[in-house]
Amino acid sequence: MFESGTATRYGRGMSAHPVTLDEVAPGVERVNLSPYAVALPRHFGGTVDRPDLPYLVHLELDFDGDRVQCRKLTCRRRTDGAPITSEGMTKVRVAELVYLVADEAKAEVSTFFAPGGEQATVVTHEFEVPPPPAGRAGPGPEHLRALGVIYTTAYACGGSPRRAVMERMGLTRTTANRWIRLARDGGYLHGIGAGDDDGKHQTPA
């Protein structure tokens, strides 16, 4: 299903994590990360090569429109690297790696009706985080939309939405919490507004 990609792309934000995406097989559907006009392939994958990981880790992932699920994970020993052991495997944090690959795989898309009335989706360009606001200006709509995309992607991957927002947008914890509340109040966090600032559902008192 996957062919080896030729380009290495890096996670953008305060921490750069090398991720090499697999090429998406022809005909694989792009599923909207509703309602942002940003989509993930229904089936995709990639390899994470990070200094703090003892191995090269390849993941094959599925996205059903709600959650990103890991279908297969393969660890490969580095050249002259340590052998694969149960102790080394404890450093492979699956949810975090799933998010890193999904974060690189999402793209801005346009949906249209093709001749015959069938709905089609095309990729227009990679998803990019806008530059930070100038001076002391607060976040604009483009920042809150980007926050919604980042937050929702991390939530779908079972990761930490607030941490993802902090790293991808270069925000402190306090500022990230404030922007998340602004995004939620402004309707940029659709369908996941019932949790706290890190996407966890609160238990009613």
Q: Is residue 127 a contact partner of residue 187, using CB atoms and an 8 Å limit?
A: no
Structure tokens at 39: 């989509």
Last residue of a domain, one of 43, 74, 109: 109
φ, ψ of residue 92 to 5 degrees: the values are -90, 95
Q: Is residue 152 a contact partner of residue 189, using CB atoms and an 8 Å limit?
A: yes
142 and 101 within one domain: no
Interval 41-96: pLDDT, tens: 999 999 999 888 999 999 999 999 889 999 999 999 998 888 999 999 999 999 98
Q: Is residue 104 a contact partner of residue 126, using CB atoms and an 8 Å limit?
A: no
105 and 13 within one domain: yes
137 and 99 within one domain: no
169 and 104 within one domain: no
The answer to whether residue 157 is domain-embedded is yes
The answer to whether residue 205 is domain-embedded is yes
Domain extent at residue 105? 9-109
157 and 70 within one domain: no
What local confidence, expressed as pLDDT, does residue 27 receive? 82
pTM summary value: 0.75
**How would you class 84 by CB atoms within 10 Å of its CB: exposed for 0-12, middle for 13-18, buried for 19 or more?**
middle
